[in-house]
A and B are shown apart, each in its own frame.
Chain A
């Protein structure tokens, strides 16, 4: 047998300064810096360590979901049930503490379990019935989960958590000026970033997102990976629920409404392609801070929320437009 000459095959494109600096993340960093400069110019209160950390807290809470949403988007899918998972897991947690009398620590575990279970259920449906679109299935469970929360609690609130100091500190507590939640977010972001970019599991997700059929023939257990990703999405929604309840000291079935769109916006602005297979974790994290601090800065000068929605909407459209503009140019130059 003729042995063909061995060639090294690598998916990595050769390093080039030009492509490195043309990356979306740099552009995003530019926007981020621009927004900070703008904010510090328009409000004398912007550059205050305490103020900034208070501000980051208010958007980092939902940003936990963004960490797992990146994974979902990378495999080319979407999960719009996350906000309902937040509501359901927070309600179950609150009721298992208030009604069932579980100790708070155990209630937190219950919260994480309920969230993961919801995510697992999404994944189970989607992997058993592969022809179903994730958008439709999670739309269904979005209504389902919030419905269950409403059945459990009706139109009431379940509260009394402000008196549990250690739990309240999850959101309000600080080491020096740095809130605990900020540290938790940083740690989880590093872990999730590491998993996505440095492990085989992460590389497989990119492969699935780029071409699911090819990934399957390459021996990747596609359905199992999808199941894991959806479960993660549920778990991170539950983490958000824990911090949300710590912030408000109570919960209702209608909390976190609209979080799914906020979170998907964060990811999209971060350059995570909704078609799957493309995007960088760093971009998503920069984008979380970009949107959050933009909102805070505009809030400091008391811009009305309606106008704020217009500004953020426009920013998003630019974000999805920009990457689509680049390939055309490249085709010409080739």
Chain B
């Protein structure tokens, strides 16, 4: 009897697995269909509404300049850093939108933990499914190389977005904004908020996140300039993009550096955590960095009760969208990932591939965008 119960339990498990299979594989081509179980349902509410009309014009418009027929029905996989990261979910939304516009099939994978190990396993699974392109936001610059090389050997087009993997393991990188532009914007913000002198600290994600490290390196280089001689970077703390750890790190920073004037967090999880701590403690320390407007709206404002006067970001939906079209251009042969290759990325217009700081190549989305009390209300609704 009891054994019967356990067998029934197991059977129901299989049932559940098969059922969710039904949800994922039915995403083929049809752009009007909801973007499947692979995306967080809560985020989808607005996107599909626009999409329903967009694809109609899009597919017609697209046929003229490029032979988009080559990518229809092909499978495009996006491998983000980890599950439960709102920024990643927005990227996935844009990627899905782009792929559905040109009639491809989309797979979005989110590892349990933001580790290279999990990503390698998932790359193996994607290779076994014979996808046509893999876009990856790398958790480690070098560690994915063996797995991605194997994917490329199997004829799969590999690109990275947001957080790069090393040049040997990708055809091209989709960069949110030029590293120097971001570094300059952040240093200027720190300079402004400290009043030109004093201590500031950086609250980063993981120590291996290549995008974070590139920005921090760029900030360091800019800080060498005499103009910034009076501001001092006291520490780079790592919150690992985990909320609780970032809270702990913020509290540690406040305790260790009583003269701290500004915390600069180039990651949205870090900003949320720091914003919460600073607001709860009524601290005079100011916050700036790179954060999602929807997550940060309650901390942005004028006056002492708001820790964050302004911050920067680009549109993660656009990065995903651009990555989707970059993947398509790689698959249909419009580009190979070499410098000066050009392609059209749907609504975003034409893009040219340029040389990247790491000796690979990249596509740059555009300059970072400033969010302050005047526009935050409007943008928090968007992403």
**A binding-site residues for B, Cβ under 8 Å:** 31, 34, 38, 41-43, 45, 48, 50-51, 54-55, 57-58, 154-157, 159, 162, 168, 171-172, 244, 247-250, 252, 254-258, 296-309, 311, 314-315, 318, 321-322, 325, 329
Give the interface centre of A43, A256, A304 by most chain B CB atoms within 10 Å.
Answer: A304
Find chain B residues with CB under 8 A from A38 CB: 14, 17-18
Give me the 6 closest cross-chain CB pairs, A-B, nearest first.
A155-B207, A51-B128, A248-B143, A299-B125, A325-B2, A305-B112
**A316 nearest CB across to chain B (Å):** 11
Give the interface centre of A252, A305, A318 by most chain B CB atoms within 10 Å.
Answer: A305
Return the CB mask of B30-71 against A: 1 if under 8 Å, else 0. 000000011000000000000000000000000000000000
Find chain A residues with CB under 8 A from B127 CB: 51, 54
Q: Cα distance A292–B13 when bound, in Å?
A: 16
Interface residues of B, count at CB 8 A: 50
**B374 nearest CB across to chain A (Å):** 37
Q: Is the CB of B125 within 8 A of A296?
A: yes
Find chain B residues with CB under 8 A from A329 CB: 2
Q: Cα distance A289–B233 when bound, in Å?
A: 50
**B binding-site residues for A, Cβ under 8 Å:** 2-3, 6, 9-10, 13-14, 16-18, 20-21, 24-25, 37-38, 83-84, 107-113, 115-118, 120-122, 124-125, 127-130, 140-143, 145-147, 150, 206-208, 238
Given A155-B207, A157-B142, A249-B142, residue A42 in contact with residue B21 (CB < 8 A)? yes
Known: A38-B18, A252-B207. 10 other contacts (CB 8 A): A34-B10, A34-B14, A38-B14, A157-B208, A244-B117, A252-B208, A255-B115, A256-B117, A301-B21, A304-B83
Interface SS of A by simple majority: helix
| Contact pick for B142, options A31, A154, A250, A304, CB 8 Å | A250
Q: Cα distance A201–B142 when bound, in Å?
A: 44
| Contact pick for A157, options B111, B120, B143, B147, CB 8 Å | B143
Given A172-B146, A302-B24, A302-B38, residue A42 in contact with residue B18 (CB < 8 A)? yes
Nearest to B38 among chain A residues (CB) is A302
Nearest to B27 among chain A residues (CB) is A302
| Contact pick for A159, options B113, B129, B142, B207, CB 8 Å | B142
Q: Is the CB of B143 within 8 A of A159?
A: yes
Q: Cα distance A197–B20 when bound, in Å?
A: 41
Find chain A residues with CB under 8 A from B130 CB: 45
Q: Is the CB of B117 within 8 A of A55?
A: no
| Contact pick for A318, options B10, B21, B24, B113, CB 8 Å | B10
Please, could you name 10 A-B residue pairs with CB atoms under 8 Å apart, sorted by A?
A: A157-B140, A248-B140, A248-B146, A256-B117, A301-B17, A304-B38, A305-B112, A306-B83, A308-B112, A311-B13
